[in-house]
Amino acid sequence: MIFILQLQLHLILGKREYAVRREALNEKHIQKVLEIEKQAQELHDTAVKEAQQLPVLAEQEAQALIEKAKAEAQEQAREMVSKVKADEESARILSDVEEKNKKFEALAMSNSDRAVNYVLERVIGRA
């Protein structure tokens, strides 16, 4: 009978130890689950922050592209204006030269007529 009592006592104590061990395992599992949930929440928070920053970053990049395009367009416009001014200056100079050439030609023709008349007069003897 003592043996049976010892056996019953051992079974009762064993059940308690099992319950304590099971409780410890449950606590470990709960801690793991809580840690995983914490990591998941941190990842979620990070993703939300990054998602909130995307429109701001996109806006900044778009503004930078717009500024770059404006600067390039202004530089191209300056180059075009400079070329047009150079072309206009070339055309003005060419026009001036042509005008002077016409005057010189007219003067030369005038002098040529007078020179021919002078030579003719000398040859004929009127001079």
Residues 6 or more apart whose Cβ sits within 8 Å of residue 121: 127
Q: How far apart are CA 21 and CA 27, in angstroms?
A: 10
Does this model's pTM top 0.75? My answer is: no
Q: How far apart are CA 110 and CA 22, in angstroms?
A: 129
Per the document, the length of the chain is: 127
pLDDT, tens only, 66-118: 999 999 999 998 888 888 888 788 888 888 888 988 887 887 777 777 777 77
The alpha carbon of 2 is separated from its chain's Cα centroid by a whole number of angstroms, namely 90
Return the exposure string of 58-67: e unless at least 16 CB atoms fall within 10 Å of the residue's CB, then b: eeeeeeeeee
